[in-house]
């Protein structure tokens, strides 16, 4: 459930008409709902009730400072995958002991920043990285808490670009090598092993791959404990999917996910961490856009809108589906017709949907992409010198611009001219 609903035919974000936001800040625009963000975080938090746990929001899904502050105020931890995200989490007031650092390519500089600023744990993805963390920690005279991310070789049954738990993926160390790697970790003075980490992919719509992976983690926990390691924390990653197509898909609910975790891992007495991103932010955001032209093609009608692939790349990159709805609802029984919905960028990949059935719309009308809160604004670019579009956060009947649209001058003036020109 989200908080983007029609009232008397007009799409609202909580208690604010979407058309009012567009009138104030222009289009296209990302609009987030505070109530939806909070609701989704609480669903995960409650799903793990009864277990010692921390929900670490995977902030790569949507990392605006206002979104981070909203979640941090509820007690959320953060999962970061770069020095920039670490700095963002700190800037939003998240204490270091609630920040976990994931990612396959942590540099010395990033490791140093996290060790200096405070870190809950590093999720180590390789032996060379483990040695780097040990070296940097010893140089600073501190001990770095770590888990090792294991690759359980489980098929997440999701889009190939967001599957991360098969042996051919670059993530983690093969689970069969885990004992060896933990033995090396235990010998390093700059490291303290505290647990195990796993993350098998994103947009999973079935619990079974999670269950298979977590079973392997449970087994490994027992093995490593028998080897003398203290395994007190299990980081189970993120990845629970969301229903991008209303009425057509029903991924498992956080409460079902939580029950499965208790079933598979509850007996181990470990502190549980999860790292959901998409399920917290995805349906908490929409992208509102205006129709520029309706153009007759051969046997098709193009709806050319003012949002493009640079603003929301998921359809071009993952062939992802987004429900696209009119901001002013059609009369019941209104005539429908197929549209090819495209942006103005000079690439055929700039296509959001083909033959999408929608009520007949007019130039100047507004449409909204649902489920655009995660991997939307964060993946946008200024391709075609299209300014990064503004982000707006709604709370009840208030809204605020949380990232303004830059002017052309601001974009152009970021470039610098060498002296010979």
Ligand X SMILES: *Cc1c(COP(=O)(O)O)cnc(C)c1O
**Binding region for pyridoxal 5'-phosphate:** 239, 275-278, 375
Residue from the set 277, 315, 343, 390 that interacts with ligand X by CB under 6 A: 277
Which secondary-structure segment (H or E) carries 42?
helix 34-47
Q: Is 3 in the site for ligand X (CB under 6 A)?
A: no
Closer of 194 and 327 to ligand X (Cβ): 194
Residue from the set 77, 152, 165, 239 that interacts with ligand X by CB under 6 A: 239
Closer of 161 and 295 to ligand X (Cβ): 161
Give the contacts of 43 (CB within 8 A, at least 6 positions apart): 253, 254, 255
Q: Concatenate the DSSP letters of all residues of 186-212 into one string.
A: HT-TTEEEEEEE---BSSB--SHHHHH
Q: Is 77 in the site for ligand X (CB under 6 A)?
A: no
Distance (Å, whole) CA 114 – CA 167: 29
Closer of 198 and 361 to ligand X (Cβ): 198
358: number of Cβ within 10 Å: 18
Q: Is 60 in the site for ligand X (CB under 6 A)?
A: yes
Residue from the set 145, 165, 237, 258 that interacts with ligand X by CB under 6 A: 237
Closer of 196 and 345 to ligand X (Cβ): 196
Q: Is 82 in the site for ligand X (CB under 6 A)?
A: no
Which of the ranges 274-282, 319-327, 339-347, 386-394 carries the binding residues for ligand X, by CB under 6 A? Answer: 274-282
Nearest distance from residue 227's CB to ligand X, in Å?
25
Distance (Å, whole) CA 214 – CA 198: 8
Distance (Å, whole) CA 374 – CA 286: 9
Asked if residues 360 and 335 have their Cβ atoms less than 8 Å apart, the reply is: yes
Distances in Å between the alpha carbon of 7 and those of 17, 31, 245, 371, 397?
9, 17, 21, 19, 14
Nearest distance from residue 250's CB to ligand X, in Å?
17
Distance (Å, whole) CA 329 – CA 119: 48
Q: What is the dihedral of CA 164, 165, 167, 172, to 10 degrees?
A: 80
Residue from the set 83, 195, 276, 390 that interacts with ligand X by CB under 6 A: 276
Q: Is 376 in the site for ligand X (CB under 6 A)?
A: no
Cα angle 309, 314, 317 (rounded to 5 degrees) comes to 85
Distance (Å, whole) CA 141 – CA 158: 42
Residues making up the annotated binding site are: 239, 275-278, 314, 318, 347, 375
3-class secondary-structure state, position 112:
helix
Residue from the set 21, 22, 61, 377 that interacts with ligand X by CB under 6 A: 61
Nearest distance from residue 328's CB to ligand X, in Å?
32
Pick the catalytic residue from 346, 357, 417, 421. 346
Q: Is 278 in the site for ligand X (CB under 6 A)?
A: yes
- Please say if 56 is a catalytic residue: no
Distance (Å, whole) CA 88 – CA 110: 13
Give the x/- contact pattern for ligand X in 89-128, rule: CB under 6 A: -------------x--------------------------
Which of the ranges 91-99, 236-244, 381-389, 412-420 carries the binding residues for ligand X, by CB under 6 A? Answer: 236-244
Residues making up the annotated binding site for substrate are: 278, 314, 318, 347, 375
Nearest distance from residue 219's CB to ligand X, in Å?
21
Q: Is 238 in the site for ligand X (CB under 6 A)?
A: yes
Asked if residues 367 and 356 have their Cβ atoms less than 8 Å apart, the reply is: no
What are the residues binding ligand X (CB under 6 A)?
58, 60-61, 79, 81, 102, 199, 202-203, 237-239, 275-279
Just list the catalytic residues: 346
């Amino acid at each position: 459930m989200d908080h983007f609903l029609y009232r008397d035919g007009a799409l609202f974000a909580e208690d604010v008409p979407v058309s009012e936001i567009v009138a104030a800040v222009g289009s296209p625009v990302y609009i987030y709902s505070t109530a939806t963000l909070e609701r989704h975080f609480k669903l995960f938090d409650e799903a793990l009730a009864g277990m010692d746990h921390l929900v670490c929001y995977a902030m790569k899904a949507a990392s605006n400072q206002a979104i981070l502050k909203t979640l941090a105020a509820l007690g959320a931890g953060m999962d970061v995958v770069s020095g920039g995200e670490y700095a963002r989490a700190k800037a939003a007031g998240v204490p270091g002991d609630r920040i976990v650092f994931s990612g396959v390519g942590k540099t010395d500089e990033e490791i140093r920043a996290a060790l200096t600023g405070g870190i809950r744990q590093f999720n180590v993805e390789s032996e060379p990285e483990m040695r780097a963390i040990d070296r940097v920690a010893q140089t600073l005279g501190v001990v770095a808490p770590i888990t090792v991310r294991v690759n359980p070789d489980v098929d997440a049954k999701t889009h190939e670009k967001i599957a991360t738990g098969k042996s051919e993926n670059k993530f983690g160390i093969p689970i069969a090598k885990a004992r060896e790697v933990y033995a090396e970790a235990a010998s390093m003075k700059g490291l303290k092993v505290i647990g195990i980490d796993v993350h098998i992919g994103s947009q999973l719509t079935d619990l079974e791959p999670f269950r298979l992976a977590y079973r392997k983690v449970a087994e490994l926990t027992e093995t490593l404990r028998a080897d003398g390691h203290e395994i007190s924390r299990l980081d189970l990653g993120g990845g629970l999917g969301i229903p991008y197509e209303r009425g057509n898909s029903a991924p498992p609910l956080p409460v079902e996910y939580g029950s499965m975790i208790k079933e598979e891992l509850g007996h181990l007495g470990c502190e549980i961490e999860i790292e959901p991103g998409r399920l917290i932010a995805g349906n908490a955001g929409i992208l509102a856009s205006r129709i520029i032209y309706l153009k007759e093609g051969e046997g098709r009608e193009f709806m050319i809108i003012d949002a493009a692939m640079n603003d929301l790349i998921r359809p071009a990159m993952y062939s992802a589906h987004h429900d696209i709805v009119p901001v002013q609802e059609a009369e019941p029984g209104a005539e429908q017709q197929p549209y090819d919905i495209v942006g103005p960028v000079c690439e055929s990949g700039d296509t959001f949907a083909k033959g999408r059935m929608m009520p007949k719309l007019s130039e100047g009308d507004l449409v909204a992409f649902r489920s655009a809160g995660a991997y939307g604004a964060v993946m946008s670019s200024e391709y075609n010198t299209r300014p990064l579009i503004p982000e707006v956060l709604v709370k009840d009947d208030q809204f605020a611009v949380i990232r303004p649209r830059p002017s052309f001058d601001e974009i152009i003036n970021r470039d610098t001219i060498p002296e010979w020109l």
